Amino acid sequence: MATIADVARIAGVSLSTVSHVLNGTRFVRPETEKAVRDAIAATGYTPNSLARSLARASTNSVGIAISAVSNPYFSDIIRAVESECAALDMTIFLADTHDIPERELQVVQALHQHRVDGIILAPSTTSSERSVTYLRENKIPAVLVDRLVSAEFDQVGVYNAESVERLVDHLVGLGHRRIGMVPGQPGFATTLERIAGYRSAVARHGIDAEDDLIAPGSIDIDSAADSAEGLMRVAHPPTAILAGNNLATIGVMRGLRRGGFAVPRDVALVGFDDFDWADSFEPRLTVVAQPCLDIGRVAANLLLERIKDPDKPPTTTRLQTSLIVRDSCGSHLRRPASPNRDRNA
Amino acid sequence: MATIADVARIAGVSLSTVSHVLNGTRFVRPETEKAVRDAIAATGYTPNSLARSLARASTNSVGIAISAVSNPYFSDIIRAVESECAALDMTIFLADTHDIPERELQVVQALHQHRVDGIILAPSTTSSERSVTYLRENKIPAVLVDRLVSAEFDQVGVYNAESVERLVDHLVGLGHRRIGMVPGQPGFATTLERIAGYRSAVARHGIDAEDDLIAPGSIDIDSAADSAEGLMRVAHPPTAILAGNNLATIGVMRGLRRGGFAVPRDVALVGFDDFDWADSFEPRLTVVAQPCLDIGRVAANLLLERIKDPDKPPTTTRLQTSLIVRDSCGSHLRRPASPNRDRNA
DNA sequence: TTTCAAATGGCTACCATTGCCGATGTCGCC
DNA sequence: GGCGACATCGGCAATGGTAGCCATTTGAAA
C-alpha cells in the first residue's frame, strides 16, 4: 500500500507539498499539482484515514448507539442520520446497545475510544444512567434520541403524552369507556410518558381507570401478546386496547388472535408507531405515526452543530406525530355521534 | 485527554512498560504493574484507538456495506454480524449502499480508507461490478451476502431457485395453473435466480408461462403495487401471485387491495421472506422464510476466518429456507387432492 | 545589485505498538 | 569476591498524514 512518501518521491516533491495538494491548504503551481496527481494515480495511493485522523484529532465520523436489533423503528432514524452524514462525507459507527444499560456503557466507551466526533444515543433507562454520565464527564458531543432523559444534552423525540391522549380521545369519541393499555419497554422514558398520557386522558374523560387495565411493560412481541391475553381475562375486559409501541402492537394482535378475539369486532385496537404494511393488511391499524426520518435528520444536524460549537446551550426538540385513522377501531362500522375522521395533525 | 506518556511519567516507568502492561506483551514485576495500573486509574487514561490501529496495522473492526435503508430484511443479518463481532471485541462500520452501484463503490472505498479489517458486502448488481473489482484488486478480505455474484469471494445466501420452486409447487398443489410473479429489484442476482426458479417450476408442471405473467422488477413497495394491479388487468389474470421478496409482498397486497381484489378469495398470494407480524394479520401469508440470523452468523465467521487466513480457498454457502404455510392461498378453504401442509424444510 | 514575492522544502508534534538491543540489578556458585 | 546467568525494564525506531512555521530557492522587478 502506497504512502504519501511514495507519492512525494515519484512526483519529485516534498511530503508537505503532497499533503497541501491533497487538502488544498496552500497554493501550489499547477504543474507541481499535476505531477503530484499523476504520482497519486500511478501509485493508486489513498490516504490512511487512521494517520489522518490522528494528526487532525478528528475522525469525521459519528457513532450511533441504538438498539437497532429489537427495534425496527430505529432503522428509519439510522437511515436519516446516515443520509445527513454521508452528505458531509462523514461515516457512521453503528453499535447496538441491546437496550441493556451495561452493554450501553460498553458501547459508548468503545465509540469514544474510536474517537468518533460525536455520538447519537438512544438511552435505555430513565435518568442519568452511567452512559449518560460518561458522556458528560468526557465532554463528548452527543444527542439523545427517542427517550428524552436529560436536558443537559441535545435531545430529539416526539410528544408522547399528547399523542397517546389523541388516541384515547379517538377511542372515547367512538364510545369506548374501558380502555386497556399494553405499554412498551418498562422503565423507558417513552413508556412512562405514554402511560402518563393515558392516565391523564382517561382522567380527563372521567372514565374507568383501574390499574388492571394497564398491563406491565412488554419487552418483546411475545410478552405483549401475553399481556393482551391477560387484559382480556379480567373481570370487565376492555373494549379497546392501546398498544404502546410497534412491537407491543404486533404482540397485542398475536395475543388477541390466540385468545380468539377479532379486531375490531370483539375489541378495538390503536397503536403507537405506524407500519408501511398497515394499510394493506387486516385489521388496518389506527395509529399515531412518528416522523422517524425527521427525528434522524434533526438529531444529525443537532450533533453536527454541537461538534462545531460544544458550548452552545442544549436544546430539546419534540416533533408532532400524525394520527392515522384506519379500521382497527371499527370506526367505519359504528359511527359515533361526533365524527372525527382526522387523518393528520 | 491523557496519553500513554502521562501514565508513564506518573508511574515512573517508560512508555514501553506501560504498553507492555496494557497488552500483556512481556512480563513486568507485579509491583511495577500495579504502579502502572494506579497511574491509569489516576489519569483516566484510555488508549487512543487510532494510534493503536496505526501501529498495529489492524483496526479490529469490520465494515458492512449493505442497503440497510430500503431493505428491512437486512436488519437481522446486521444484528447477527454485530453480535458475532461484539463477542470478539470488534466494532462495526455501517455504510449504506442504497443499492446503487455508484454509491456502493464509494462506500466500499470509504470503508477501505478507514482500514477496516474486512468487509461484508451485499452487492447490488449481478456480475463483477466495480466495487467487487475494487475488493479484489486491493485484496480486501470480504464476504458477499444475499446476492451471490462471484465465486472468488466467500459468499452466503439461500437456495433462491429451489425456494421459489417450492412456492410454485405449493400453488400448483392447490390447483393453480395461472401463476403470476412480481419479482424484486431488477437485475439483482437474487431476483434472477428466483425468476429462473419460477420458470423452471412452471415448465416442470407444464402450466401457463406467458411472459405477461412476470411483472417487471419492482424497486419499491409502490412499483410492486403497480405491477400487481397490472397483472390483474391482463386478458387471463392469474389466480395466484408469487412475490419475489418482502417489499414486493407488501406492494402486491397494496396493489391488490387498490384494485379491489381480496386475498385469498380472488387471488392467492405467496411471498419470499417472512414477517414477524405475518401470523397475526390477514391475510396470514404463506411464505418461504430465510434464516437471516444464520446468514449473518455464517458471514461474520467466514470473514473472521478470511482475515486470519487470506489465502484459503473461498467458499460459497447456501442455506435452506423454510416453507411456512398459512392462509393466503386459501389452502384452508379448498383442500387439494394432495395435502401438503408442511411447515418446515 | 538589491529587493521582494512566489513556491516549495524541512521540521515537528500528534499517539500507541512491538521487537530489538542494551543497561542495570540480583542471585547463585565457585 | 568475582563471574556468569537471568530477570527486569529503558531507549529507539518505524508506522502514517496533518498543518503551521520558518528557511530556502528562484526568478523577476526596481
A 10 A CB-CB count for B100 gives: 14
Residue B333 lies in a domain: no
Q: How far apart are CA A123 and CA A110, in angstroms?
A: 16
Q: Which carries the bigger pLDDT value, residue A315 or residue A74?
A: A315
For A238-293, what is each residue's pLDDT tens digit?
999 999 999 999 999 999 999 999 999 999 999 999 999 999 999 999 999 999 99
Average pLDDT (B37-58) is 93
pLDDT for the residue A338: 40
Do A213 and A311 have their domain in common? no
Say yes or no to pLDDT of A208 above 80: no
Spell out which residues of chain B touch residue A69, defining contact as CB-CB under 8 Å. 75, 79, 82
Q: What is the SS3 assignment for B29? A: coil
Residue B339 has pLDDT above 50, yes or no: no
CB-based burial, A119-131: b 16+ in 10 Å, e otherwise:
bbbbbbbeeebeb
Do the chains contact at B96 and A113, CB–CB below 8 Å?
A: no
Mean pLDDT, chain B, as a whole number?
A: 91
Show the DSSP H helices in chain B as ranges: 4-11, 15-23, 30-43, 49-56, 74-87, 101-113, 130-137, 160-173, 189-205, 221-231, 246-258, 292-308
**B141 and B223 in a common domain:** no
A339 pLDDT exceeds 50?
Answer: no
A17 touches strand C (CB under 7 A): yes
Question: Is residue A345 situated within a structural domain?
Answer: no
Number of structural domains found in chain A = 3
Same domain, B90 and B150: yes
Q: Tell me whether residue B153 is in a domain.
A: yes
- Model confidence over B105-146: pLDDT tens digits? 988 988 888 889 999 999 987 655 889 999 998 899 999 999
Looking at the structure, tell me whether residues A75 and A195 fall in a common domain. Answer: no
A28 CA from D22 C1′ (Å): 18
Element (DSSP H or E) covering residue B268: strand B268-272
| Beta-carbon contacts of residue B191 (< 8 Å; ≥ 6 apart) | B183, B184, B185, B217, B244, B245
Give the CATH number of the domain where residue B202 resides. 3.40.50.2300
A280: nearest CB among B72, B109, B257: B257
Nucleotide in closest CA–C1' contact with A35: C8
Mutate to test the interface with A, among B91, B241, B267 (most CBs of A within 10 A): B91
Strand D atom within 7 Å of A3 CB: yes
Is the CB of A254 less than 8 angstroms away from the CB of B78?
A: no
Predicted confidence at residue B343, as pLDDT, reads 39
Instruction: Check A94 against B86: CB less than 8 A apart.
Output: no
Q: How far is B264 from chain A (nearest CA, A)?
A: 12
The most confident of the ranges A33-42, B83-92, B108-117, B325-334 is A33-42
Q: Measured CA to C1', what is the nucleotide nearest B11?
A: D9
How many other CB atoms sit within 10 Å of the CB of residue B151? 11
Tell me the nearest-neighbour CA distance from A159 into chain B, angstroms: 25
- Model pLDDT, residue B128: 55
The alpha carbon of residue A147 is apart from the nearest alpha carbon of chain B, in Å, by 21
Q: Provide the CA B25 to C1' D12 distance, Å, integer.
A: 18
B257, pLDDT greater than 60: yes
The band of A100, judged by pLDDT with boundaries at 50, 70 and 90, is confident
Range in A73-87, B303-317, B325-339 with the lowest mean pLDDT? B325-339
Q: Do residues B167 and B280 share a domain?
A: yes
Kindly report the number of other CB atoms within 10 A of residue B19's CB atom: 18
Whole-number distance in Å between A27 CA and D23 C1': 18
Q: Check if residue A310 sits with its Cβ under 7 angstroms from strand C.
A: no
Distance A71 CA to D26 C1' (A): 66
Q: Residue range A201-209: average pLDDT?
A: 91
Query: What would the grid cell of residue B309 be?
Result: 487466513
Determine the distance in angstroms separating the CA of A154 from the nearest CA of chain B, rounded to an integer: 23
Residue B336 confidence (pLDDT): 42
Mutate to test the interface with B, among A22, A45, A50, A246 (most CBs of B within 10 A): A50
Dihedral in degrees, nearest 10, Cα atoms A165, A169, A175, A177: 30
Nearest nucleic acid nucleotide to B31, CA to C1' distance: D8
As given in the structure block, the three cell numbers for residue A316 are: 430539546
DSSP A216: P
Q: Which three three-digit cell numbers place residue B79?
A: 444484528
Which of B46, B78, B82 lies nearest to residue A113, judging by beta carbons?
B46
Name the closest residue (CA) to the C1' of nucleotide D19.
A25
Are residues A195 and A270 located together in one domain of the fold?
A: yes
What's the pLDDT at B127? 55
pLDDT tier at A94 (50, 70, 90 boundaries)?
Answer: confident
Closest nucleotide over all strands to B35 (CA to C1'): D9
The answer as to whether B304 is a domain residue is: yes
Q: Is residue A336 part of a domain?
A: no
| Minimum CA–CA partner of B52 in chain A | A50
* C1' (C26) to CA (B29) span, angstroms: 14
If pLDDT is split at 50, 70 and 90, which confidence band does B288 have? very high
Q: Same domain for B131 and B195? A: no
Q: Is the CB of A25 under 7 A from strand D?
A: yes
Instruction: Look up the domain containing A115 and give its range.
Output: 59-158+292-319
Which regions of chain A does DSSP assign to beta strands (E)? 61-66, 91-96, 118-121, 142-145, 154-158, 179-182, 240-243, 268-272, 286-289, 316-319, 322-324
Check whether residue B237 and residue B248 sit in a common domain.
yes
Q: Is residue B339 in some structural domain?
A: no
For residue A264, is the peptide bond before it cis, meaning its omega torsion is within 30 degrees of 0?
yes
**Residue A111 and residue A46: Cα distance in Å, rounded?**
24
Residues B285 and B301 in one domain: no
Window from A97-111, B172-186, B259-273 with minimum mean pLDDT: A97-111
On whether residue B255 sits in a domain, the answer given is yes
pLDDT 10s digits, A11-50: 999 999 999 999 999 999 999 999 999 999 999 999 999 9
Residues of A in contact with B100 (CB under 8 A): none
CB B56 within 7 Å, strand C: yes
**Nearest nucleotide by C1' from B15 CA?**
D10
Distance CA A323, CA B319 (A): 42
Residue A52 lies in a domain: no
Smallest CA–CA separation between B244 and chain A, in Å? 16
Among the partner residues B50, B112, B277, nearest to A250 by beta-carbon distance: B277
Q: What is the CATH number of the domain that holds A39?
A: 1.10.260.40
One domain for residues A187 and A282: yes
pLDDT at A320: 98
**Chain A contact set for B47 (CB, 8 A):** 113
Same domain? B249 vs B267: yes
Find the residue in A nearest to B84 (Cα). Answer: A96
Average pLDDT over residues B168-187: 95
Assess whether B39 and B85 both reside in one domain: no
